[in-house]
Amino acid sequence: MEYYNYIKSLHLIFVITWFAGLFYIVRLFVYQIEANEKPSPEKEILLKQYKIMTYRLWYIITWPSAILATFFAVWLLILMPVWLQMPWMHVKLGFVFLLFLYHLKCHQIYNQLQKDEFKYSSNFMRLWNEGATLILFAVVFLVILKNAFNWIYGVIGIFLFSIIIMLGFKFYKRIREKNQ
């Protein structure tokens, strides 16, 4: 148990780098999709560079961080199995499951873009980028507030806020399209 705080620190460090990778990879997807719409030779130059950048980010930072964050989380749960009896931990693990689904979907999008398959718009990717943000907010509020009932209000507030952001984004997009 003397190593518990070291393991917890490593878990937190790799959670942070995992989220950093997820935030940045989707931003690179936006740039890659927009680069595909540019004229030659700019298009080819940018696409080549973005493929290199996304490859390095995905396989050198994001995937290793996800694996190490998970490894240290499992180690923490082995050291403190009582956490698995706490309702807030069940909810947190549900959000972690959603995070893995988000990560795997990003991996699918990554593979498509590496093969020059552009199935999503840059606007979709901008909205998609908010998915990791919502999960991050929910997990942080949940972990900090634990058994307090207030975390539910925080999570509900985040989802309502995200709906307002999406509606605002759609409204702004319509205004932008009308002015073109």
CA proximity to 88, closest of 139, 159, 160, 16: 139
Please report, for residues 127, 133, 164, 172, the alpha-carbon distance to residue 175 in angstroms, rounded to integers and kept in the order given: 17, 26, 16, 5
Which amino acid, residue 172? Answer: Y
CA dihedral sign of residues 59, 63, 65, 71: negative
Count CB-CB contacts under 10 A for residue 122. 16
Tell whether 11 is in a known binding site: yes
CA dihedral 152, 153, 154, 160 (to 10 degrees): 110
Q: How many CA atoms lie within 13 A of 18 on its CB side?
A: 25
Residue that is written with structure tokens 């058994």 in the block: 147
Tell whether 103 is in a known binding site: no
Please state, in angstroms and rounded to a whole number, the distance separating the CA atoms of residues 25 and 54.
6
Binding positions: 11, 92
Binding positions for heme: 11, 92
